[in-house]
């Protein structure tokens, strides 16, 4: 899933930094106070539209969300989180190129925004640009090495592009980060089966996923399709 920046986190990120007050006179102090007050008011005003856009997105009113994020950006053109979330709303509306343009802008504003790289990779994957997606997920992982979602999606992109060994390595990394991640076991099992015809290894991973409560694998093991694995010893 794409990474949506939450309303609270985004509002906090708008608070101005790096603008020291001018000291030395009452006038300077007053001017500095006015500047800070104005900056805070702008941040709060943009955050109002951001929060409403976030709520509309949750209600699946993607066009309404896009409109509100656009208003937030008009107030604060450096609002990277608004570009990120508008990109998500555009992607959900089917505007993948528009989404990528917004993620590009978020990255331009903040080159260390792991979520923007992740979300751009997600959009590229849906456009079947698997190598581009892999590159973006790799960048997200370099910024946040504990992001299991980025490893998962990079693994899927690798599997789609035929790099089965690389995909297995990514799923194994997720399991290293979180041994209770049932979906990672399931995805690794799929890749073992497709890429290497390793039915025993695949079955072992499927059973592990089921033992961790992954309902899809539980149902599959109890179905006719999963009988071969269910009966494997």
pLDDT for 18: 32
For residue 68, give its domain range. Answer: 1-110
CA-nearest of 155, 158, 160, 182 to 171 is 155
Mean pLDDT of 180-201: 96
Task: Report if residue 148 sits inside a domain.
Answer: no
Q: Is residue 182 assigned to a domain?
A: yes
Kindly state whether residue 135 falls inside one of the protein's structural domains.
Answer: no
Residue 25: pLDDT band with limits 50, 70, 90:
very low
> Does 132 score more than 80 pLDDT?
yes
The reported pLDDT for the residue numbered 2 is 66
**Residue 8 pLDDT greater than 80, yes or no:** no
pTM score > 0.85 for this model? Answer: no
Residue 23 has pLDDT above 50, yes or no: no
The CATH code of the domain that includes 176 is 1.25.40
Select from 110, 132, 148 the last residue of a domain.
110
CA distance 60 to 89: 9
Note whether 91 and 176 are same-domain residues.
Answer: no
In a domain, 129, yes or no: no
* Four-CA torsion 14, 18, 19, 23, nearest 10 degrees: 140
The whole-angstrom separation of Cα 65 and Cα 30 is: 38
> Distance between CA atoms of 193 and 173, rounded to whole angstroms?
19
- The domain boundary residue, chosen from 110, 140, 173: 110
Whether the Cβ atoms of residue 72 and residue 89 lie closer than 8 Å to each other: no
Q: Do residues 75 and 42 make contact, with C-beta atoms less than 8 angstroms apart?
A: yes
Question: Tens digit of pLDDT for each residue in 52-77?
Answer: 999 999 999 999 999 999 999 999 99
Widest distance between CA atoms in the chain? 83
Confidence band of 180 (pLDDT split at 50, 70, 90): very high
Q: Is the pLDDT of residue 173 over 80?
A: yes
Same domain? 19 vs 103:
yes
Q: How far apart are CA 201 and CA 12, in angstroms?
A: 47
pLDDT score recorded for residue 44: 82
Asked whether residue 207 is domain-assigned, the answer is yes
The CATH code of the domain that includes 63 is 1.25.40.10
Segment 135-160, tens digit of pLDDT: 999 999 999 999 999 999 999 999 99
> How many domains does one find in the chain?
2
> Does a structural domain hold residue 137?
no
Gap between the Cα atoms of 233 and 223, Å rounded: 17
104 belongs to a structural domain: yes
Q: Tell me the mean pLDDT in the region 10-22.
A: 36
215: how many CB neighbours lie within 10 A of its CB?
10
Q: How far apart are CA 46 and CA 15, in angstroms?
A: 11
Answer whether residue 58 is part of any domain: yes
> What is the tens place of the pLDDT at every residue in 75-106?
999 999 999 999 999 999 999 999 999 999 99
**Residues 106 and 184 both lie in one domain:** no
Instruction: Assess whether 166 and 79 both reside in one domain.
Output: no
Distance CA 56, CA 133 (A): 28
User: What element of type H or E holds 41?
Assistant: helix 26-58
**C-alpha–C-alpha distance, residues 205 and 155, integer Å:** 16
């Amino acid at each position: 899933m794409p990474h949506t920046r939450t309303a609270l986190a985004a509002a906090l990120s708008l608070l101005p930094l790096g603008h020291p007050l001018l000291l030395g006179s009452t006038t300077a102090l007053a001017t500095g106070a006015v500047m800070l007050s104005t900056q805070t008011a702008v941040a709060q005003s943009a955050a109002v539209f951001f929060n409403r856009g976030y709520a509309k997105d949750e209600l699946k009113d993607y066009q309404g969300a896009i409109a509100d994020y656009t208003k937030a950006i008009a107030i604060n053109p450096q609002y990277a989180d608004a570009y990120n979330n508008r990109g998500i709303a555009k992607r959900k509306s089917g505007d993948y190129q528009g989404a990528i343009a917004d993620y590009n802008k978020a990255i331009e504003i903040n080159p260390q925004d792991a979520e923007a790289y992740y979300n751009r990779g997600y959009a590229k994957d849906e456009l079947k640009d698997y190598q581009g997606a892999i590159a973006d997920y790799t960048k997200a992982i370099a910024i946040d090495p504990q992001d299991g979602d980025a490893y998962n999606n990079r693994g899927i992109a690798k599997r789609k592009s035929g790099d089965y060994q690389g995909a297995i390595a990514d799923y194994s990394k997720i399991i290293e980060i979180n041994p209770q991640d049932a979906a990672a076991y399931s995805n690794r099992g799929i890749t073992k089966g497709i890429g290497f015809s390793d039915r025993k290894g695949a079955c072992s991973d499927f059973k592990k996923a089921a033992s961790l409560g992954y309902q899809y694998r539980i149902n599959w093991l109890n179905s006719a399709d999963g009988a071969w694995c269910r009966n494997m010893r």
